[in-house]
Amino acid sequence: MKNKKGKVTVVLVFLVIVVLVLIIFNIVRRFIPAVSQQPESQSTAASQSGGNAAQTGTGSQGSGRGQGSQRSGTAVRITPVVLGMVENSVILNGDVLSSSQVSIFPLMPGKLTELRVREGDRVNRGQVIAMLDPSRPGDSFFLNPVTTTVSGVVVSIPVNTGDTLQTNSVICVIGNLSDLKVETYVPERYSVTVHKGLPAQVSFEAMPGEFFPAEVDELSPVLDPASRTLRISLRLLPGSAGRVDQRILAGMFATISLVTSSRVDVPVIPRTALIHTYGSWIVFVVAEDSTVARRREVTLGLESETMVEILSGLETGEQVVSEGQNFLADGDTVRIVE
């Protein structure tokens, strides 16, 4: 029985192997490339065609290289290095104030019974601006007039009729609006460059695009220890009409461009010509009668919003690339565009 079962097992294994061999043979024959069955003449023609194609491709590549060598350089604009003026400035924010403001106080405590002025009214020295009742319950006093000690325009009235005031209560503030000033605070690092007479340009949100001349008129002798800033006042200068623009009002928000230093007759170029790379400043120079851009490292001096002073690396009269330089490398061919 055991021998009989062993023979059956061997037969079954043999049959399985035969079936697997037949399956593998059919799969291999199905996926044999049809190219191997093509006539030799077709293979030869294909190889010749491939050779011609290779020759054609080589020719086209050579033609492309020829066209590339003949193409024009990078389009750029150039600007000469000239002698000019450059100003270093700092932008600050400030407020427009009257040149002098005086607060008016009552001479005795009491109840404010009447206000005889409003904001914007012009008053003269000695004019009665309010009435105060100093009496207390059970007492009887005459109303006490409050008079102004200066002439000017009423800038603000921080109290209302019916308020009980003390001798340190401000009834109104009177200012001289015919002479305005701009007050601002300069950071400590610029404080040593600020002095009386330093020029500035002032602009206002209410008049965009317009700039008004001013100069430093007053400055504090000490820095504010809390903010580390220096308080300064600027005097608005008369315009072309011979007076300060009447549209400028006390209380306006001002933007001040303060010129901290300036130089004249120094080599300058546009800021747009500069490229900052690896911790240094470079420009590209194009010599006369040349179409090749050369890389040049430069040392900068004073800078303004549009121009920069050149301390070394360039000479007056040299042509620097002011537009298109970001696409250049040393020795590149350029095409100058007017």
Strands 229-236 and 253-270 turn out to be unpaired
Query: Given this model, what pLDDT does residue 182 score?
Result: 93
Using CA atoms, how far apart are residues 19 and 37, in angstroms rounded to an integer? 27
Q: What angle do CA 204, 210, 215 make, to 5 degrees?
A: 70
Q: What is the pLDDT of residue 184?
A: 94
Provide the pLDDT for residue 310: 94
Span 204-224, mean pLDDT?
A: 91
pLDDT over 90 percentage in the chain = 42
Quick check: 153 pLDDT over 70?
A: yes
Mean pLDDT of the chain: 82
Question: Which has more confidence, 139 or 236?
Answer: 236
The per-residue pLDDT for 38 is 45
Q: Is the pLDDT of residue 199 over 50?
A: yes
Distance CA(324)–CA(74), nearest Å, equals 8
How far is it, in rounded angstroms, from Cα 83 to Cα 269? 9
| Confidence class for position 141, pLDDT limits 50, 70, 90 | confident
**pLDDT tier at 3, thresholds 50, 70, 90:** low
Confidence at residue 251, expressed as pLDDT on a 0 to 100 scale? 83
Contact call for residues 152 and 123 (beta carbons, < 8 A): yes
pLDDT per position as a tens digit, 87-138:
888 899 999 988 778 899 998 898 999 999 998 888 999 999 999 988 876 6
Whole-number Å distance between alpha carbons of 32 and 136: 122
CA distance 259 to 265: 17
pLDDT higher than 80, residue 228: yes
The pLDDT tens digits of the residues spanning 23-79 come to: 887 777 765 544 444 444 444 444 444 444 334 444 444 444 334 433 478 899 999
157: confidence class by pLDDT, cuts 50, 70, 90: very high
| Cα gap 280→290, rounded to integer Å | 26
CA distance 154 to 119: 5
- Residue 135's pLDDT is 81
- The rounded distance, in Å, linking the Cα atoms of 219 and 183 is 10
Q: CB within 8 A of 123, min separation 6: which ones?
A: 117, 129, 148, 151, 152, 153, 154, 174
Instruction: Give the pairing of strands 101-104 and 82-98.
Output: unpaired
pLDDT digits (tens, 9 = 90+) for 299-320: 999 888 789 999 999 999 999 9
User: Looking at this protein, which amino acid is placed at residue 314?
Assistant: L
In this structure, are strands 334-336 and 74-80 parallel, antiparallel, or unpaired? parallel
Q: What pLDDT is stored for residue 30 in this prediction?
A: 67
pLDDT at position 234 is: 93
- Architecture field, domain 74-86+264-336: Beta Barrel (2.40)
pLDDT the model gives residue 202: 93
Class of domain 90-97+178-263: mainly beta
In the chain, % of residues over pLDDT 70: 84
Single out the residue of 299, 303, 265, 284 nearest to residue 79, CA to CA: 284
Q: Do domains 74-86+264-336 and 90-97+178-263 have the same CATH topology?
A: no
Is residue 144 pLDDT above 60, yes or no?
yes
- Parse the chain into domains and list their residue ranges: 74-86+264-336, 90-97+178-263, 101-175
> pLDDT, tens digit, for every residue of 165-193?
999 999 999 987 777 889 999 999 888 88
> In CATH, what number does 101-175 get?
2.40.50.100
Averaged pLDDT for residues 226-250: 85
